[in-house]
Amino acid sequence: MTRDECDGSFDDAVKYCNSIGREIAHIYTEEENKKAMEACGDDKCLIGLFEIGGYASTSKFYQTWKWLNRGELVYTNWESYEPNNWDGIDERYAALYSGKWYDARGSKNYTPLCWQVPEYSDWGVSTSWYD
């Protein structure tokens, strides 16, 4: 697989995954996180997690995060200082890097991590963006 950093938003990532018959990844277990980390490699990959409500000043202890399919957050692997809305910017999306999760802006250029539903073993990373 080629891992190119792509220009696009979180919405573009979701559309891309859907265009190839997949969904942006949801991670429910440590095992799935390991598979996602392997698929992502050295890239920063968007996953299907987003913050509901809140502001740039909302403490991580009061932030509410959900999966795009509205699934509950039963497993997390945030970096110890995340989610932090770095530099006062409201970062409402999640990215995976080296197995840890980071909050991210929806407009950053990350590689979308797509998965085949319902087979959790079929992970894939996009190689390019399409309209």
pLDDT in tens, 84-116: 998 888 999 999 999 999 999 887 778 899 988
Question: What are the extents of the domains in the chain?
Answer: 10-125
Residue 29: per-residue pLDDT:
94
Give CATH superfamily name and number for 10-125. Answer: Mannose-Binding Protein A, subunit A (3.10.100.10)
Stretch 27-50: mean pLDDT, rounded? 93
Q: Which of 60, 53, 36 is nearest to 111 (CA)?
A: 36
The percent of residues above 90 in pLDDT, for the chain, comes to 47
Which residue type, as a one-letter code, is found at position 56? A
